[in-house]
Amino acid sequence: MRKDLGVKAAVYPMPVLMIATYDENGVVDVMNAAWGMICDYDKISLTLSESHKTVKNIKKSKAFTVSLADKKNIAAADYFGIASGNDTPDKFERTGMTAIKSERVNAPIIDEFPVTMECELAEIVSTDNVYSIIGKIVNVSVREEILDEDGKVDITKSGILIFDQFRAGYYVTGEKAGQAWSSGKELDK
């Protein structure tokens, strides 16, 4: 038996993305966004409202970083979604987090978050149905403590958060359920 829920954003999991920018005065702004994903090997798409302070900053600076939030920093990550940079200009300072200027783009890296993509603005897509910021990823940096012995990101060490839109909860990634491009090979026989 199935039950109709009506119209819902029924995709799970959603990322917990921290989008960081500088404003025209060099002030750090960070927002929490779930509606974003990789759209090519070297591109990320963020579906945001044009009214966000972060979007205004991206339009001016032509750059931003996108970090994956983690359990250790859940309070700050959630706060970045609660407070608006339009209304709370010191919201980054209130978290006590550390911003490091990227060497590749005109945007801050939030040092505490485990994975960060440094992006140049590639395109803004604006239609009647979508407003998306497309970023060209020019580098990915990670905290060394989440790397395995081969130098690859170990998700089980990262504590990276995922968002459940059904119940507005944060969860932690980590349990491996199968191997991509291998788990289904038996069905190909």
Domain total of the chain: 1
**pTM, to two decimals:** 0.93
Q: What 8-state DSSP symbol labels residue 114?
A: S
CATH number of the domain at 32, please: 2.30.110.10
Asked if residue 127 belongs to a domain, the reply is yes
Asked if residue 50 belongs to a domain, the reply is yes
pLDDT tens digits for 41-88? 999 999 999 999 999 999 999 999 999 999 999 999 999 999 999 999
Residues spanned by the domain of 167: 14-188
CB contact set of 13 (below 8 Å; sequence gap of 6+)? 162, 163, 164, 171, 173
pLDDT tens digits for 1-39? 999 989 988 888 899 999 999 999 999 999 999 999 999
Residue given tokens 């300072």 in the structure block: 93
